[in-house]
Structure 1
Amino acid sequence: MIREELIRYLDGYLQAFKFKDYAPNGLQVEGKEHISTIITGVTASQALIDAAIEKQADAILVHHGYFWKGEPQVITGMKQKRIKALLEHEINLIGYHLPLDAHPEVGNNVQLGQKLGIEDIKVVDSVSQDLLWSGKLKTPVPADEFQKILVNALGRESLHIGDEKQSIQSIAWCTGGAQDYIDIAAQLGVDAYISGEVSERTFHSAIEQGIHYFSAGHHATERYGIQALGEHLGKQFGLSHQFIDIPNPV
């Protein structure tokens, strides 16, 4: 597949033009013109690049790419090594951040909700860029039982704030670093809120507003969107795709 055709398709499919983001969405580092093999992963780390080189991939497709607002503009040190490896092996780096969080089919949020067995999944309209989602469990479960569901689904321990014996059914969530949406979740009247990261202030917000809070890991909550997107491209265009999970406890 021609690189420009793939980027045009991804831009349209993910509606990238709708988002005011913190990094460029789309092609970030140019490589081979023809793409037949894609590696997907959460973050364009050196370990993921090395794996793509070993697999002789034509492109790496990630959620967390490069050139974030506020980061140093010079290409030195770690950034130089990463970009040098991509250029030397002519590997395209393609990244989609908020568009992948929000997508209704392959997005991080809808994929996480499905993985947790949440029903009636829908976006919360009051939050811009479709980043906060809500739904409910088929039947109420004690908070400690829901924490076990999180652990089994994501393969890592999660932090829970709240009475572990209280029942939970209605849930709101946003993957990644979205801990401050807990205040909006509390206003919605849901039983629990899930995000990837947690801050010191999150504890007080949960306790004082009477809402259960689960911090399930930034990396862990954002593994499934990029994987689903890669699988979609494989089916849509016959591309060879492999998701590579670089372990990250954060």
Structure 2
Amino acid sequence: MKRAEGSVALITGGGSGIGATAAARLAEIGCSVAINYSRNSAGAEAVAESCRLLGVNAITLKGNVASDADCRHMAEETVASLGRLDILVNCAGVTRRVPANDLDALSSDDFSAVNAVNVTGAFQMIRAAARHLKRSGAGTIINVSSDSGITGDGSSLSYAASKGALNTLTIGLARELAPEIRVNAICPGFVDTNWALAWQNSDSYEHFKRRVADIAPLKTIPSPDDVADMIEWLVVGARCVTGQLLVIDSGTHLTVGNPLP
């Protein structure tokens, strides 16, 4: 395993799910971590403590990425507390669950709320961190997007559109921030986290997981660890990779029609 000793990573949305797993993985390879949360302070602190047990420094940062002031504060506080900033993982995200064929159920406010976090929030966080990442000499930005941004499918059209915009932002910023900073996006399909339990009970969720795995060509669904594997690789093993949209979905994008209505 390659190491990233002495590096510092800031992970937005790091108190649970993919963000929490990413923080722990980066700590395992030697990164000190700043873990952002907006509401889940207990979850963020638990993640930070688990990272400290791995021998790295870890702090928690309360902030809403939809606020430019919060983004600037988090970047500055990371550097003030941990000494530098080398890696930014934009994992904070929200959705509005609305059937794609019910156009009247999706309001302009839904688009605004989703884009404020998923697109504007990611941009504001990158802008706040950019000068520190450039100073690193080998800065890395990883946007946790979604295959919804490629397929147009997902929890709602507003969510898919926001992830499509995040993918375009990734490509544009990879060009503009080179050569000091690499910018890539990971585009997971359905990942086995507690996120979907917000709109399903445990029985329907288990049925949903079995259905997705059955549809997927690889007959499995990604876990947060699978996404963290790719984040680790982009940090320590992808020196010549930038501007890429890396899909992790066990092949469900290869299926015909709408596999996940």
TM-score relative to the length of structure 2: 0.31
Q: Which is greater in Rg? A: 1
Structure holding more strand per residue: 1
Q: Tell which has more relative contact order, 1 or 2 (C-alpha 8 A, sep 6+).
A: 1
Structure holding more helix per residue: 2
TM-score relative to the length of structure 1: 0.32
